[in-house]
Amino acid sequence: MHPANRLALWLWLASLLPWLERPFLYALAVLIVAGALLFCRPRFLRALPRIRWLLLAVGVIYGWTTPGEYLWSGWLAPTREGIRLGIAQMTRLLAIAASLQILLTGMPRAAIFSGLYILSAPLEWLGISRRHAAMRLSLTLEMVENILEMQQPFQQLLRELNKPDQDHGERTVHMMIQPLGWGQGLLLGLLSCLSVLTVWLGGFGGWS
């Protein structure tokens, strides 16, 4: 599958998850996490500790700020509805993280650039260079991935990110763009329409 279609497929999945009812959401999340454990287990297990605080924060925010029936008496009690919403949102985030690890497995920087270059074609209509936009995004993804691979404490990572760049020299980066055949182009159009239709149906309650 062309990298652009792999990215488009992931974008469709990301657009679908917010609208699914909880039983379907949980079933799909189990399948995605199982796929991540099967195809990219080390990568996925390395990513889990880095999102644990985000998952916990989402659960706390929904559990303790959503109106509803309190689980016990007292001002520190969460609501039953909040816990349910929090678990659902945590499940969505976990499914997105797992699917992203599956997506990036086996996709080198050149493939990511090629996919982003194809998908960012509408930017040309706004007068924005899609080549520069795709290059910046692919280099940013590579830098973030390299930083996350480092076995360093969080404070050390912050110091690395805030460190001023001493190397102001220019460097040349060559990227090959994988051509998009008519069959892959048809699939890309189908996935794009599917994503738009998914969001449109979700906005009108079509997934309820």
Domain ranges of the chain: 1-107, 110-151
pLDDT over threshold 90, residue 13:
yes
Nearest CA-CA partner of 103 in 150, 58, 141 = 141
Gyration radius of the chain over CA positions: 20
What is the biggest distance separating any 2 CA atoms in the chain, rounded to whole angstroms?
64
- Percent pLDDT > 70 in the chain is 81
Taking the whole predicted model, whether its pTM rises above 0.85 is answered as no
pLDDT the model gives residue 168 = 47
pLDDT the model gives residue 113 = 81
Which pLDDT tens digit goes with each residue over 50-102?
788 889 999 999 999 999 898 888 778 899 999 999 999 999 999 999 998 89
Which pLDDT tens digit goes with each residue over 164-204?
555 545 555 556 777 788 899 999 999 999 999 998 888 77
pLDDT the model gives residue 152 = 55
Mean pLDDT value across residues 125-132: 78
